[in-house]
Structure 1
Amino acid sequence: MKLHGLEFPDGLLYAPEYNLWLREEPGGAVTLGLTAYGCALYGQIFAFTPKRDGWHIDADRSFGVVEFAKAASSARSPLAGDILASNEAVVRRPGLINQDCYGEGWMVRMKPDDWAAVRDRFLQGRQALDAFAQRMYLDNFDPDDDGVQALRP
């Protein structure tokens, strides 16, 4: 699925208010990563500093810090759980987030506290695209602006 030239792969869940995607993994883990829209907003990412593996994160709390062009932002989790692993490749080479946000650029893998209770809060397919379209409108996002560091084919 594409929106304003940005990719939003089918098969993932999305938390538009956090600009994150979620992927269910075998054994009940959930992988989180920044969406293409999040990458477009941040621009080039220079550092990702995650919380330590084993750390418990409450919903809406930071699982790490993303540093980009003269600023930093907390990456907030849309769900509560324990961090099982952070992506060490991204810690060493944060540009992987920009280069392959849905693949090698994943950020953390978590074990949610109660996945069954929160799974339905996340969006898929057309619902996700509609929610991102609304966010882009509210953010005055202009994909044709030369300053936008969007991921493009």
Structure 2
Amino acid sequence: MSSVNGCNIPAELYYVVEKHVWAKPDGDVVLVGLTDVAQNMAKTVISVSLKGEGKPIKRGKSVATVESGKWVGPVPSPVEGEIAEVNNELAKNPGLVNEDPYGSGWIAKVRPVDWDADRSLLVTGDEGVEKYREFLDAEGISCASE
């Protein structure tokens, strides 16, 4: 896992850097979640309102709404498709987003209409890590404890 300004940015994931969301292909679905950067900026997540399974979703539209003591906002989908599954564990334990944003804190699984087209709009690998570094440096964002 790569560390950028104290934030964990796994090179194997796909990112919409400005929206702080990640995507990971998993069979015929794409897992979607918030990045370590997002959960650090939000601080303690107190609730996650998930969209319904089976709903069509446009790229950039919300698959969930996350609320913390500092922020309420959407989790935009990095892909177009249908919400195949949501992480119902988040209703009972929204803190999973803070504790494990790339694992048990995933938000939704989306069955993409065209993963190849969506993937071409995302950044990944060394390029993704570097784009995130540039963004965090430009915005003065750090995940390091102050």
TM-score (norm 1): 0.87
In structure 2, C-alpha distance between the alignment counterparts of 1:40 and 1:70, rounded to whole Å: 11
Relative to structure 1, is the Cα distance of residues 36 and 142 closer, same or farther in structure 2, using a 3 angstrom cutoff?
A: closer
In structure 2, C-alpha distance between the alignment counterparts of 1:17 and 1:40, rounded to whole Å: 15
The answer to whether 1:83 aligns with 2:83 is yes
In structure 2, C-alpha distance between the alignment counterparts of 1:13 and 1:122, rounded to whole Å: 6
Relative to structure 1, is the Cα distance of residues 142 and 36 closer, same or farther in structure 2, using a 3 angstrom cutoff?
A: closer
Counterpart secondary structure, 1:121: coil
Within 5 A, what are the aligned runs for 1:33-112?
Answer: 33-112=33-112
Assess if the C-alpha contact under 8 Å between 1:18 and 1:77 holds in 2.
no
In structure 2, C-alpha distance between the alignment counterparts of 1:143 and 1:23, rounded to whole Å: 22
Assess if the C-alpha contact under 8 Å between 2:6 and 2:142 holds in 1.
no
Relative to structure 1, is the Cα distance of residues 17 and 54 closer, same or farther in structure 2, using a 3 angstrom cutoff?
A: same
In structure 2, C-alpha distance between the alignment counterparts of 1:40 and 1:18, rounded to whole Å: 14
**Structure 1 unaligned blocks of 5 or more:** 147-153
Post-superposition Cα deviations, 1:41-82, rounded to whole Å, max 9, x if no partner, equal 111111110110011111111111000114311111122111
Within 5 A, what are the aligned runs for 1:120-131?
Answer: 120-131=120-131
Relative to structure 1, is the Cα distance of residues 75 and 51 closer, same or farther in structure 2, using a 3 angstrom cutoff?
A: same
In structure 2, C-alpha distance between the alignment counterparts of 1:12 and 1:77, rounded to whole Å: 14
**Structure 2 unaligned blocks of 5 or more:** none
RMSD across aligned positions (CA):
1.5
User: What is the identity, as a one-letter code, of the residue corresponding to 1:37?
Assistant: V
Aligned residues: 145
In structure 2, C-alpha distance between the alignment counterparts of 1:138 and 1:7, rounded to whole Å: 18
Which sits farther off after the overlay, 112-121 or 136-145? 136-145
In structure 2, C-alpha distance between the alignment counterparts of 1:76 and 1:96, rounded to whole Å: 18
Shift in Å, 1:143: 4.1
- In structure 2, the partner of 1:2 is 3
Counterpart secondary structure, 1:82: strand
